[in-house]
Amino acid sequence: MARTQRSGALLDELGEPDGIPLYRHVYRRIREQVLTGSLASGTRLPSTRTLATDAGISRKTAEEAYAQLETEGYVVRRGGSGTFVAEVSTRRRREIRLAGRRTLSARGRAIAATTACVEPSEVRAFGAGLPALDAFPFDVWQRLLARRARQLDARSLVYGDPAGFPALREAIAAYVASSRGVNCDASQVVVVSSSQQALDLSARLLLDPGDEAWLEDPFYPGARAAFLAAGARAAAIPIDDDGIDVAHGVRVAPNARVAYVTPSHQYPLGVTTTLERRLALLEWARRSGAWVVEDDYDGEFRYDGRPVASIQGLDRAGRVLYVGTFTKVLYPSLRLGYVILPPDLVRAFVNARTQIDGHPSTLMQSVTADFLSEGHFAAHVRRMRSLYRARRDVLLEAAEPLRDRLTFPTTHAGLRATGIFSGPGPLRSLAKPSRGSAVSGAFMKAMIANDVSGTLVDDHAIAARAARVGLEVAPLSRYCIDVKRSGLVLGYAGLSPAAIRAGMATLAEVLW
Ligand SMILES: Cc1ncc(COP(=O)(O)O)c(C=O)c1O
């Protein structure tokens, strides 16, 4: 039986919010107690109604504080049974406590308290997101690298252009214009070390502490981390069959400064945002003066249907920042990405870039520029697209025997597939989709197929069982905020057909 915390004790001497929004003050007070261990894991917190009455705050403030605690993983909310203190490891408690004692800034504490995604560093079923590194064209890459290395002289050792190696900026502009419908010239391209750096720069430059930012629900952890580190509040905007529910966003967070979206291939559901929604998003951004950060992290890999052009290419008001990365199309340790900016933002981004680290290695930028401009990149993408399509087919075939339990509604693109639980399994009580959340369409029906009594398959428990037999599967509920879903995110592009089949067979044993 969970211990229930009285709200009086929880917010003894609430104190002054000290210039920050009241909900954030409440959130910090509770978070402190979770981190110091004075609120033990599993403790049930008072309902928002009780907390509001006892602490003399509004229910909305209590609700926002709990929502933030949940988003950051300090509490777990179970529809019907309440809000509970989550497991926070002793090591993490100590790290955060020490960071606090060494008097980090408020921003520093926000950074220390958030974690982005930790991508796998080895290839194993079904570690999410790695490309087929065994199929990388090492011979061509080594030849280009050797050629550039031979050309090194004293002039090439000085600082480079902080906006990026000029030939690479040109090559990127030509590539995104022709293959992703992006409307730009090289002067709008800033080369960064990763899309994560582009998100971090966007959050630093476009958001003030307390500002709201739209985050897709389910969300990409890297984006959430960048927003929270900037002190912003994440407004969860549900994803349905048509992509991000713009009307919901306009209802709940009309004044948000930024909307982060993955419209080509939503992370992690895989949905493609329709043209109508893209236009609605742009219209809202134009009217409200918000920025749209479009993360096109794997838009190259579409296997069925026609490729979808970028939102940036539809934008006539200069509100879109288009983010791309070479992590998926080349390899993660290259650490190169780019952001295509509205012209009036370029100077600020280049300045911010200079203050952080200058620029990525000129040598590697020049090799990448040659790879693109000499046609190797286009050939590599074509080869990988057909390889990944074949691997996707193997995955779906191997998943056939599981179809009563796990279905894959959106597998038309990308390096991962998200399976949705649709049968009986270890259940845990979760909140129903929140009021006003869109849950229409076949995709969403699959999502909540087994959610007949407010319960969903416990995907965390399944992921933990899978880990014990050597499989790496990410529980979908990990990425969910308001609309609760249960499933598994499986990376497959980097795996051989044999590894995919063997992994699926092991997963089947875990599920039965
Ligand atoms: C949505 C999304 N954006 C970006 C990336 C890649 O990021 P980076 O360029 O920071 O390596 C990933 C990696 O998995 C991703 O899932």
Q: What is the DSSP string of 28-60?
A: HHHHHHHHHTSS-TTPEEPPHHHHHHHHT--HH
Q: In which element (H, E) is residue 234 found?
A: strand 233-240
Q: Which of 202, 301, 327, 339 to mutate to test the pocket of ligand 1 (most atoms within 8 A of CB)?
A: 327
Closest Cα to atom 14 of ligand 1: 129
Ligand 1 centre and the CA of 195: distance in Å? 6
Pocket of ligand 1 from Cβ distances under 6 Å? 119, 129, 194-196, 220, 222, 262, 267, 295, 297, 325, 327, 332, 337
Least confident of 322-326, 370-374, 440-444: 440-444
Q: Which of 325, 326, 333, 334 to mutate to test the pocket of ligand 1 (most atoms within 8 A of CB)?
A: 325
Least confident of 200-214, 295-309, 379-393: 295-309
Mean pLDDT of 466-476: 94
CA dihedral 151, 154, 155, 159 (to 10 degrees): 110
Domain 381-511 CATH superfamily: Aspartate Aminotransferase, domain 1 (3.90.1150.10)
Question: What is the 8-class DSSP label of residue 162?
Answer: T
b/e sequence 268-285, b meaning 16+ C-beta within 10 Å? bbbbbbeeebbebbbebb
Q: What do you get for the CA distance between the two ends of the chain, in Å? A: 29
CB atoms within 10 A of CB 364: 17
pLDDT value at residue 56: 87
pLDDT value at residue 437: 38
Closest Cα to atom 13 of ligand 1: 129
pLDDT value at residue 319: 98
Q: Is 73 left (phi over 0), alpha (psi -120 to 50) or beta?
A: left
**Burial of 183 by CB count in 10 Å (0-12 exposed, 13-18 middle, 19+ buried)?**
middle
pLDDT value at residue 438: 37
Q: Which of 172, 220, 271, 339 to mutate to test the pocket of ligand 1 (most atoms within 8 A of CB)?
A: 220
Band of residue 114 on the pLDDT scale cut at 50, 70, 90: confident
| Interval 403-414: pLDDT, tens | 999 999 999 999
Least confident of 73-87, 237-251, 357-371, 379-393: 73-87
Query: Which of the listed ranges 64-78, 202-216, 301-315 does the model predict with the highest average pLDDT?
Result: 202-216
Average pLDDT, the chain: 88
Domain ranges of the chain: 7-113, 158-378, 381-511
Closest Cα to atom 2 of ligand 1: 297
Q: Which of 216, 261, 267, 479 to mutate to test the pocket of ligand 1 (most atoms within 8 A of CB)?
A: 267
pLDDT value at residue 375: 97
Is 90 exceeded by the pLDDT of residue 94? no
Atom of ligand 1 nearest to the CA of 220: 1
Is 50 exceeded by the pLDDT of residue 141? yes
CB-based contacts of 14, cutoff 8 Å, min separation 6: 25, 26, 29, 55, 56, 57
Is 50 exceeded by the pLDDT of residue 189? yes
| Interval 307-327: pLDDT, tens | 788 999 999 999 999 999 999
Is 50 exceeded by the pLDDT of residue 425? no
pLDDT value at residue 107: 82
pLDDT value at residue 243: 96
Q: Whole-model pTM? A: 0.80
**Burial of 153 by CB count in 10 Å (0-12 exposed, 13-18 middle, 19+ buried)?**
exposed
* Residues linked to residue 75 through DSSP beta bridges, in sequence order: 85
pLDDT value at residue 427: 35
**Fold of the domain spanning 7-113:** Arc Repressor Mutant, subunit A (1.10.10)
pLDDT value at residue 240: 95
Residue 145 in tokens = 């690298």
Mean pLDDT of 284-293: 98
pLDDT value at residue 3: 61
Atom of ligand 1 nearest to the CA of 295: 3
Ligand 1 centre and the CA of 336: distance in Å? 11
**CA 209 to CA 425: how far, in whole Å?**
42
**CA 257 to CA 448: how far, in whole Å?**
31
pLDDT value at residue 8: 58
- 207 Cα distance to chain centroid: 18
Is the domain spanning 158-378 CATH 3.40.640.10? The answer is yes
- 254 Cα distance to chain centroid: 22
User: What percentage of residues in the chain have a pLDDT greater than 70?
Assistant: 86
| Interval 220-279: pLDDT, tens | 999 999 999 999 999 999 999 999 999 999 999 999 999 999 999 999 999 999 999 999
pLDDT value at residue 4: 66
